[in-house]
Structure 1
Amino acid sequence: MAASTHTVTNQAPPLVGYDVFTADRALGEAVGRHVDPALLDEVRTELSDLGRAAGSRQVQEWGSLADGNPPVLRTHDRYGHRVDEVGFHPSWHRLLGKGVSAGLTAAWARPAGHVRRAAAFVVWSQVEAGNGCPLSMTHAAVPALRTDPALAAEWEPRLTSMVYDQGLRPASEKAGVLFGMAMTEKQGGSDVRANTTSARPLAEDGTYELTGHKWFCSAPMSDGFLVLAQAPDGLTCFLVPRVLEDGGRNVFRIQRLKDKLGNRSNASAEVEFDGTWARRVGAEGRGVRTIIGMVAATRLDCVLGSAALMRQAVAQAVHHCTHREAFGGPLADKPLMRNVLADLALESEAATALGLRLAAAYDDGGEQERAFLRLAVPAAKYWVTKRCTPVAAEALECLGGNGYVEESGMPRLLRESPLNSVWEGAGNVQALDVLRALQREPGALDAYLREVGLARGADHRLDGAIKGLLTELADLEGVEGRARRLAERVALVLQGSLLVRFAPPEVADAFCGSRLGGNWGSSFGTLPHTLDLASVVDRARPVV
């Protein structure tokens, strides 16, 4: 073909060379309201540095390479000895190292640690979501280990280190460590009390020998793992080091790696324990209670990870439609496309505002905030992660055929989007957890109502939604069958209250008029046409 026939025109430029943090107005404003003013300049500078890295061409290439070169399992060395090692592309280590040095495992050791980490997690997960798994589990292991002060004193400084020290060596010889977890078994799934892995006490107090299997073990090349197993007095939590203090390998047999829909850069494995050495964490028979702090923290990361995916999908869609012209002008200026983009932007901003509010509750740590988290975390985990997949799919469609091509990056976002809904308990588990909080912990509902009540009177649709939720809660007959509906309403009312209080009027108006006002279609792009949708889209536009 003649070169003159292949002149490239009307293609959006790559979304590259920009600050992912400062380009996200909703995220920046959330950081501003939840961080002490005395720390704010420091935190913003730190996040902007990370944002520029995340938006750089080089780091985006790392993400593509890590996703395109999945980990490889090597069970034996050339002589037939078991080594059970997983090899990763160098880009994986670069991403993980940057995440650690950016403080994504250090929240417990820094002022305003959870908010600054949550914002950084949203920024960094937009590059490549797979490395978020070990970062998340390392962060979340701290509250579980704190049930044993001696273990916490030994391991917490390593877990909260901002040094990525790769390689299998005794933890005492490393400048920083990463943690994974292994709870799920093939016969039990979310029903961890059905686990069959056994723990036999050894002579040294607090030490055990584990025998059994785990159907999902995330990040199997980590330095340590939190594991649930059946001790003589019941289900118990254990710390399993990958390498023993004498330098020998603990028995940790990787049977195979999972071939997953998304999250392909991260290794997820089936593992076998056979005389595996472990330290007890917490009391025997209290395994679920011991590990619940880790579960709550990782569930919050599911919310943040989904918010990150939604933000990147929306940023790509708005960027494309700003530069792509059709029917005489930019796509973003067409009324119907503007409606779609605004609807997507609302979902993204609501998820971001909610995720950062939950992180701020962790930083506060007071009794009321802890009660608030007990209800708000499972409701947010249920709803935000559920919304991620339709947002990613609709954003992909905004790019038309270009979005269906791997080079656009949109298929990777779409493949990743269902993960957080499944990880740490799928939708039904979260909905039932919302019910447990409502039925067993009256302080949780009180704290929630205090929070949403801060916006009462500011929007009649929000007021009506709060009243409707209270009516639903007054009738608990057959409540399990409508637990999903209840969890959805809890999350939507909370998102609406946050946007009414903190977002620009056009954003709050559009959210309440659609999600809470009963005038919302079954697909994106059905917002009332009388709203100021152009301002909503402009707010979501990434500035390069």
Structure 2
Amino acid sequence: MSLEQYAETHTVTNQPTPLDGSNLYRGDRPLREWLQRFGAAWGEARLAEYGELAGGPLLAAGFAANRQPPELHTHDRYGYRIDQVEFHPNWHRLMQAGIAHGLHALPWREPRPGAQVLRAGLFYLHNQAEAGSACPLTMTHAGVAVLRRQGELAESWLPKILSLDYDPRPLPMGEKRGLALGMALTEKQGGTDLRANSTRAFAVGAPGPGQAYELLGHKWFCSAPMSDAFLTLAHSEQGLSCFLLPRLRPDGSHNRIYIQRLKDKQGNRSNASAELEYRGALAWMVGEEGRGIATILEMVALTRFDCMTGSAALMRQALSQALHHCAQRQVGGRALEAQPLMQNVLADLALDSEAALALSLRLGHALERPEDEQERHFARLLTAVGKYWVCKRAPAFIGEAQECLGGAGYVEESILPRLYREAPVNSIWEGSGNVQCLDVLRSLEKTPAVAEALLAELDDGHGEARLKAQVLRLKHALHDREGLEYRARQLCGEIAVALQASLLLRGAPQVVSDAFIAARVDAREQVYGCLPRGVEVAALLARSRLQAFD
């Protein structure tokens, strides 16, 4: 008997269809509702267009861009130093889409109510497709906040930074259609402790803001080294100062920025991060001399906002994958999503995802109202609290979503391993968890109005007894000075949960806010899938599942 008749051993059954081609905006009810609540409804058409891109072509481009990491070319074939980084064509496709849709510049190009929130919504969609390319978009957007304060530099650089043209050609600024910004702040010996930097700046002629300097030193992490210019720090005569450092000199020659190597990173692999040396690199001082850290703080606040929004986006994509899989995959003759314990896990993840989104967009709403003193103080606190809490929740969240898929979520054909590797960078970059918590303590100690803004936002629980009790506990914690630094993480977590509960209570359906308060305020469970009895899990899952247009 021939064995050929047995060659076909099985047919493929009980496998979910691919989650490709979904409109990540139109299918996401919580996103639509929260963007409308915070004033971004005027960008509906843009969001729908980008949601279509992010759920289809950009998602595919993200897989391709991560299969071939950037390559460093230090010299050309003739032996000349070029220090160029080569990217996969799909990286450029991702960058082109982001810049064409204003992810790097929208609030500066269109300064109107809701612009910062709209931009955050677009950024949220982009990060679900591919988060590595979000890094230069973030830094370009945030860098404008610094450059616009420096007269002549702003006049020459900002028009092309705000351009919707993506121009990756290695040319001097004057010959480019559009410009992107990077950042090079930390050094080997200091890391987050920027005051330990040793790089020196020497005036070429007259010293001071807007003047030319040459820099000598090194940088341990340069994000996006293919950018056209970098904001960097160096010691001038009066102390640590901020500088704009072009990749090429105005005449097109090499600017004596030497890339030593690209970092071999855990995640964020489509994007390049580099170690640099400055050997007389030309730069211009930005802001007051000796006030470099203060100058760059506004940029840092915006990049922290993007870390928070980016983490919320990774959580949303992981949730979508888990919900899609569990709706179709059967175990014991029943769909996974119909089984009580899996419903508990998925609904718990859905709660955290929406709470992270709401907190992020609330920060965007506060950031675009600097003329409101209370909102300004609130944004100061929420930037650090949100960056700490949302970014810290993301890795465990994505790991849980991975587990919903079992082995299928652990292989590289799935997007989940990439999301899992990506998640920690947002917690580490722009100040790790401890840095954020200590920043919260500093803001509360230095400015009493910050605590007042927080309590005004919470408003004694908005009439909800359980939240009111949480606010009372929080007030006691704020007044208890003993061992405050030791328990800073606990305090920040209490603030974050109270704010998320407050937002959901005011802006989400009651089924969502009741479940969140029961799970996070009353029970305070630390492991996903421990929602208390009585939570309407079916309603939570229906709300968060990607769906056809309403």
TM range (shorter): over 0.9
Matched, 1:33 2:32: no
State whether residues 351 and 384 of structure 1, in contact with CA within 8 Å, keep that contact through their aligned partners in structure 2.
yes
1:131 is aligned to 2:133: yes
Mapped partners of 1:525, 1:515: distance in 2? 12
State the partner residue of 1:290.
295
Between the aligned partners of 2:174 and 2:502, the Cα distance in structure 1 is 47
> Partner letter of residue 68 of structure 1?
R
Alpha-carbon shift at residue 156 of structure 1 (Å): 2.2
Counterparts of 1:497 and 1:431 in 2: how far apart (Å)? 21
Q: 1:533 maps to which residue?
A: 537
Q: Deviations over 1:125-173 (max 9, x none)?
A: 1111000000000000011113323322322222222111111112122
Does structure 2 conserve the Cα–Cα contact (< 8 Å) formed by 1:178 and 1:223? yes
Question: Scaled by the length of structure 1, what TM-score is found?
Answer: 0.97
Deviates more, 1:391-400 or 1:42-51: 42-51
Q: Is the 8 A contact 1:225 1:239 kept in 2?
A: yes
- Candidates 7, 11, 29, aligned match of 2:15: 11
Is 1:118 aligned with 2:123? no
> Mind listing any 5+ residue stretches in structure 1 that lack a counterpart?
none
Counterpart of 1:447 (choices 448, 453, 473) is 453
Aligned mates of 1:108, 1:6 — CA distance in 2: 58
- Specify the code of the residue in structure 2 equivalent to 1:50: Y
CA contact under 8 A between 1:520 and 1:526: conserved in structure 2? no
- The secondary structure found in structure 2 opposite 1:407 is coil
Equivalent residue runs for 1:303-314 within 5 Å: 303-314=308-319
1:418-497 equivalence runs, <5 A? 418-453=424-459, 455-457=461-463, 459-497=464-502
AA matched with 1:49: E
The one of 195, 200, 203 equivalent to 2:202 is: 200
Evaluate the alpha carbon distance shift between residue 370 and residue 149 of structure 1 in structure 2; reply closer, same or farther with a 3 A threshold: farther
**Alignment pair present for 1:376 and 2:382:** yes
**Uncovered stretches (5+) of structure 2, i.e. residues with no partner:** none
Q: 1:504 aligns with which of 484, 495, 509?
A: 509
SS at match of 1:290: helix
Deviation, structure 1 residue 113: 2.0
Task: Kindly report which structure 2 residues correspond to 1:327-406, keeping only aligned pairs within 5 A, or say none.
Answer: 327-366=332-371, 367-406=373-412
Q: Which residue of 2 aligns with 1:149?
A: 151
- In the alignment, the residues of structure 1 paired with residue 516 and residue 480 of structure 2 have an alpha-carbon distance, to the nearest angstrom, of 27
Amino acid at match of 2:408: N
Does structure 2 retain, via aligned residues, the 8 Å contact 1:54–1:60?
yes
CA distance in 2, matches of 1:414, 1:439: 36
2:72 match: secondary structure: strand
Q: Which residue matches 1:280?
A: 285
Contact 1:140 1:297 in 2 (8 A): yes
Distance 1:471 1:249, change over 3 A: same
CA distance, structure 2, for counterparts of residue 60 and residue 154 of structure 1 = 35
Q: After the TM superposition, which residues 102-117 of structure 1 pair with which residues of structure 2 at under 5 Å, given as runs?
A: 102-106=101-105, 107-110=107-110, 111=112, 112-117=114-119
Contact 1:121 1:304 in 2 (8 A): yes
Please say if residues 165 and 177 of structure 1, whose CA atoms lie closer than 8 Å, have aligned partners that are also in contact: yes
Cα distance in 2 for residues equivalent to 1:441 and 1:22? 41
Structure 2: how far apart are the matches of 1:113 and 1:178?
20
Deviates more, 1:483-492 or 1:185-194: 483-492
The answer as to whether partners of 1:214 and 1:271 remain within 8 angstroms in 2 is yes
Q: What's the CA shift for 1:296?
A: 0.3
Q: Number of aligned residue pairs: give it.
A: 537
Do the aligned partners of 2:239 and 2:289 also contact (CA within 8 Å) in 1?
yes
Instruction: Return the alpha-carbon distance in structure 1 between the equivalents of residues 325 and 200 of structure 2.
Output: 54
- What is the aligned partner in structure 1 of residue 181 from structure 2? 179
Amino acid at match of 1:377: T
Separation (CA, whole Å) in 2 of partners of 1:527 and 1:145: 48
Report the RMSD for the aligned CA atoms in angstroms.
1.3
Give the superposition deviation at 1:3. 5.8
Equivalent position to 2:164, from 150, 162, 165: 162
Equivalent residues of 1:339, 1:529 under 8 A apart: no
Cα offset for 1:204?
4.5
The equivalent residue for 1:87 is 86
Partners of 1:493 and 1:330 in 2: CA distance: 35
Distance in 1 (alpha carbons) for counterparts of 2:179 and 2:374? 33
C-alpha distance in structure 2 between counterparts of 1:447 and 1:221, whole Å: 41
1:452 and 1:153 mapped to 2: Cα distance? Answer: 42
C-alpha contact 2:461 2:471 (8 A) present in aligned 1: no
- Helix, strand or coil at the partner of 1:250: coil
Q: Do 2:311 and 2:423's aligned partners in 1 also have CA atoms closer than 8 Å?
A: yes
Contact preservation (8 Å) 1:169, 1:247: yes
